[in-house]
Chain A
Amino acid sequence: LAKTTQPISMDSYEGQEVNITCSHNNIATNDYITWYQQFPSQGPRFIIQGYKTKVTNEVASLFIPADRKSSTLSLPRVSLSDTAVYYCLVGEAFGNEKLTFGTGTRLTIIP
């Protein structure tokens, strides 16, 4: 699995858009990019997955440049409940293989 690099932590104010970038320089042709959210003392929750360009769902957008060596998770108008750790993973689609979690980004939303 390609190794990922994310900022350790980020702070943002309520109502703002938050962008978390993940680097994955060694991503393979068959690899997808998946983001998970984890609250304290809970299991991770799937947020979004993409292969290239842009993917959007009801909670987030995922931007992937043409070289796919990085990706950006965008959370629109964050609220206090978005305070969590966000993990970027790279691998086959929908966890077709075992998942390797990196350090994640600890996002703190400030009122």
Chain B
Amino acid sequence: GAVVSQHPSRVICKSGTSVKIECRSLDFQATTMFWYRQFPKQSLMLMATSNEGSKATYEQGVEKDKFLINHASLTLSTLTVTSAHPEDSSFYICSAREDGWTYEQYFGPGTRLTVT
């Protein structure tokens, strides 16, 4: 089956620094990828839709200048958390929508971000 990877799986950073998270579709092309955030014991919340070659679409309440998304190729999207603060500590999950007639979405394993 289609595989989506994320890197890193865990990251700890100091408050005020920036962190980049990569999402890759390993064996398929994905024009569209999605970024979610999940706090402990809560559901996934969609942050933004990433489209290759164009600007990301952010959900209401998500700061686009704080969560920078770059979808530079059909297999890679990156999420950069800028000037991270402890409240940004969360589990970040991406999904990739396979190009083609099924448009099935596949989820990555997630990235645990801890800001100290």
A-B contacts at CB below 8 angstroms, number: 48
Whether B107 and A103, one on each chain, are in contact in the complex, defined by CB atoms closer than 8 angstroms, is no
Whether A43 and B109, one on each chain, are in contact in the complex, defined by CB atoms closer than 8 angstroms, is yes
| Interface residues as binary, A27-65 with B (CB distance below 8 Å gives 1, 0 otherwise) | 000000000000001111110000000000000000000
For the complex, would chain A's binding face be called helix, strand, loop or mixed by DSSP majority?
loop
Interface residues on A, range: 10 to 19
Interface residues on B, range: 20 to 34
Whether A95 and B44, one on each chain, are in contact in the complex, defined by CB atoms closer than 8 angstroms, is no
For the complex, would chain B's binding face be called helix, strand, loop or mixed by DSSP majority?
strand
Interface of A toward B, CB cutoff 8 Å: 41-46, 87, 93-96, 98-104
Whether A95 and B105, one on each chain, are in contact in the complex, defined by CB atoms closer than 8 angstroms, is yes
Residues of A within 8 A of B49 (CB): 98
Query: Measured between alpha carbons, how far is A43 from B108 in the docked complex, in Å?
Result: 6
Whether A43 and B95, one on each chain, are in contact in the complex, defined by CB atoms closer than 8 angstroms, is yes
